[in-house]
Structure 1
Amino acid sequence: MDNYTDEELSEALREVSKTISNCEKMQKKFAEGTAQYSLLRNRIKAMIISKLLIESELSLKDQMKEELGQVTKEELTEALKPVVSIISKCEKAQEKFAEGSPHYRRFENLIKTMEIAKALIENRLTWLE
């Protein structure tokens, strides 16, 4: 697995936390049972798992290892799908903006965060096998 610096992991943690907050706000706008609501529910769950993995890497809390032990292989596999989807959507959206522009950099940060989350999820899945 890639070794990430504490700075990279801290930035990823901030980005994932913002994404969770944004998704929770958006989810309130949709009726339960709609495709958009389900998409956001799955995305929130994936981001929570990603956050736990990043916090575990940073060793912020002893409790994280215990909570992480409760995340199943199936949940990790399911969490990987929204993370990969976010990467793909951000890469496509990023193409619409000039390199170096604020929007371009925003997508760049989110892509890097999701790449870290993806690597941590895949590493955890490998560890569980």
Structure 2
Amino acid sequence: MENYSQEELDAAIQLISSTIINCEKMQTKFLEGTSQHSLLKNRIRALQIAKALIAKDSSIDLYTQLDIEKSLQPILSIIHKTKKAQMKYKEDTVQYKRMSPMISAMCISKAFIEAAIKKQHNK
């Protein structure tokens, strides 16, 4: 998308990739069928879709339009939870600043997912 510099997109892709790895590691700690396992499964899928859209990767063809539409909610959840956690700290603290890249990457993800949904609906 034109609103973002290549540097911002690259940073988002890197952070999303790292988050996917961390979620996959955490997922093994929960039994399949538990709410935590399902949450992580949905989050991983949403992050993979966002990464493919941002990177303009051909792997996006592996996902249906419904998959793309369903990926929006986990991304919105990450934004909400991270902003809520960030509000506990003052703007000049390390803890506050540490969460800013995640919020930025998820907002970029949200924009790309919404654009993909809109594009499909306009066909």
TM-score bucket of the superposed structures, by smaller chain: over 0.9
SS in structure 2 of the partner of residue 31 of structure 1? coil
Partner Cα distance (1:46, 1:120) in 2:
12
Q: CA deviation at 1:107?
A: 1.2
Partner Cα distance (1:21, 1:100) in 2:
29
Note the alpha carbon deviations across 1:5-24, whole angstroms, 9 max, x for none.
00000010111011101101
Corresponding residue number in structure 2 for 1:74? 66
Moved over 4 A (4+): none
Note the alpha carbon deviations across 1:17-53, whole angstroms, 9 max, x for none.
1110110111011011100000000000000001101
Q: CA deviation at 1:103?
A: 1.8
| TM-score of the aligned structures, taking structure 2 as reference length | 0.93
Coordinate RMSD, CA, aligned: 1.2
Partner Cα distance (2:55, 2:28) in 1:
27
How many matched pairs?
Answer: 121
The gaps in structure 1 that reach 5 residues or longer are 57-63
The gaps in structure 2 that reach 5 residues or longer are none
Note the alpha carbon deviations across 1:77-121, whole angstroms, 9 max, x for none.
110000000000001000111213222112111011000000000
Corresponding residue number in structure 2 for 1:122? 114
| TM-score of the aligned structures, taking structure 1 as reference length | 0.89
Corresponding residue number in structure 1 for 2:20? 20
Aligned-pair identity in percent equals 45
Corresponding residue number in structure 2 for 1:48? 48
